[in-house]
Structure 1
Amino acid sequence: MRPIDEVITFPPIDPNRVLQPHQDALILTLGINDFDVRRILVDPGSSANLLQLFAFKQMGFPSPALENPRRILLGFNGVSTTSLGDVVLPVQAGPVILNVQFFMVEDLSLFNAIMGRTWLHDMKVIPSTYH
């Protein structure tokens, strides 16, 4: 792993390619365990990183590879769900690779993963939906 000390800036022309005003969620494709995983929601309000069980199985992992099963996770709306376990996987964003702990869940609706505050903090990034 290399330290994250680079600065990313957006030129003034960059938001010209986006229809303004918009309120779209920040959705990424990231490399997780050498797979390009699409439809990842960046949620700075989430304290956990979540991974859809289906995506985990698509990477070729068996379910028994999970540790610490049956953790209760609370959503922002107060609804709770029970994780199937957790796993640490390498996540690549550009040139940076970090080992990330994911809580495995079965139903994330449209998303394969949700990256929360812990990942954002470790990456030393500020998400910009404007750009």
Structure 2
Amino acid sequence: MHTINEDGLLEKKDSSNANECMSIITFMDKDLLLGSKPHNRPFFMAGYAREEKVNKILINGGFAVSILPLRTLKELEVPMDELSNSRLMIQGFNQEGQRAMDVIKMKLLMDDMLSTALLHVIDDKTSYNMLLGHPWLHENFVVPST
């Protein structure tokens, strides 16, 4: 066994005493904090937009934009004159691009946090009602933790 002395030099010690100062820590699968619970599920929240409750707001820092599906836009009864044209092409998981229809800046309230999100409107079936991506997280100093 080797140790470092007071002068910072490596010294060889008699190994007969090694068992006295060595401890072994072993972890088993049953010691995992989450056990077998899935811990990689999407991070969904609820909040308010235009004074309407919006469930299934997906928080995901891996997305370069924030997205609002057209069906959610219609449910919120947003007047078309509040939308701005968008030329953004959004690349999907399947490597097929989809052009954003429009873009809108919208105030959001989640718990006691009031923020604004620049949302790109898409006409697609999604598992979320709104997606807040990296720009929104960064602007609001949000660090998602699961």
TM-score by length of 2: 0.68
Residue 109 (1) aligns with residue 126 (2): yes
Cα distance in 1 for residues equivalent to 2:69 and 2:131: 9
Which runs of no fewer than 5 residues in structure 2 stay unpaired? 1-32
Cα distance in 1 for residues equivalent to 2:81 and 2:89: 19
Structure 2 match to 1:67? 84
Residue 50 (1) aligns with residue 67 (2): yes
1:88 to 99, 102, 105: 105
Structure 2 match to 1:97? 114
**Higher RCO (CA < 8 A, seq sep 6+):** 1
2:135 to 99, 102, 118: 118
Size of the alignment, in residue pairs?
Answer: 114
Structure 1 match to 2:54? 37
Q: Which amino acid aligns with 1:23?
A: N
Residue 21 of structure 1 and its aligned partner are, at CA, apart by 4.3
Cα distance in 1 for residues equivalent to 2:137 and 2:35: 23
Q: Is the 8 A contact 1:57 1:63 kept in 2?
A: no
Q: Is the 8 A contact 2:69 2:126 kept in 1?
A: no
Aligned pair in 2 of structure 1 residues 27, 54: CA closer, same or farther (>3 Å)? same
Which runs of no fewer than 5 residues in structure 1 stay unpaired? 1-15
The percent identity for this pair of structures is 23
